[in-house]
Amino acid sequence: LVATAAALSVMRSAAGRGRLSGTTFRVLALGLLGASAAIFADALYAAGKLALALARGPVVVSPEQVSVVLALAAAWAAGTASYKTLQQHGLPSFKLGIDSQGSPLLSCLALGYLVTSLHSLWWGSVLTLHSPLKLVGALRWFVIAGIAHVCQTAAVAGTKRLASQTYRLLNLGLALDSAARLAVVACVVRSPPAYWCLPALALASSAGGWLAGTLAG
């Protein structure tokens, strides 16, 4: 949720400056649209079950039922705004290169971002399609993967790009998300070492990108 909030903040800032046509913001818009569609579909299904329950008789309103309504509203708002951005500026292009000319360290960061993006696509789809954690899965599938991808292209472009407020905020959100994932793994008794590797790589990449941008700024 922290990384998603960072993405939304970046999009709001770009909209205020009239810069939504940039590739970074179109990638984020596509990610937000995908996540919003998945969350809206799941919330709509839950709302349908709630409507059937109400049709049978009075029910006690629970926080879960209220969250369904809020999820519908939030997903609709974010999805509509993202769709309008893509409708106006077109779909983004994706660059998978990791070679940052003259900087092996930035190339290593770009590789870490690429692995994080691919892992988020895979694990997010698993959570969304095969677990009760639809919200978490959709955000990881689309938003986290999108953030990691745009940070990868920024690392390839160099420290000047990473120094912008946009990428520092995205890196900070990604770092906090990765730290939270590591904390969850730490709470699992006897978790295999493999469970630590990818969250640790994501944390190292995003923290490194944030630090590189901060020092360059």
Q: What pLDDT is attached to residue 119? A: 92
Q: What pLDDT is attached to residue 48? A: 83
Q: Return the number of other C-beta atoms located less than 10 Å from residue 160's C-beta.
A: 11
Q: What pLDDT is attached to residue 189? A: 60
Distance (Å, whole) CA 198 – CA 216: 27
Q: What pLDDT is attached to residue 2? A: 86
Distance (Å, whole) CA 107 – CA 182: 24
Q: What pLDDT is attached to residue 45? A: 86
Closest CA to 177 of 151, 206, 137: 206
Distance (Å, whole) CA 42 – CA 35: 11
Q: What pLDDT is attached to residue 182? A: 87
Distance (Å, whole) CA 69 – CA 74: 9
Q: What pLDDT is attached to residue 61? A: 65
Q: What pLDDT is attached to residue 26? A: 95
Q: What pLDDT is attached to residue 59? A: 65
Q: What pLDDT is attached to residue 51? A: 77
Q: What pLDDT is attached to residue 12? A: 92
pLDDT string in tens for the chain (217-residue length):
788 899 999 999 999 988 899 999 999 999 999 999 999 998 888 888 877 877 777 766 677 777 888 888 989 999 999 999 999 999 998 888 888 876 889 999 999 999 999 999 999 999 888 988 888 889 998 999 999 999 999 999 988 999 999 999 999 999 999 999 888 888 876 767 777 888 999 999 999 999 999 988 6
Q: Tokens 């996540």: give the residue.
A: 35
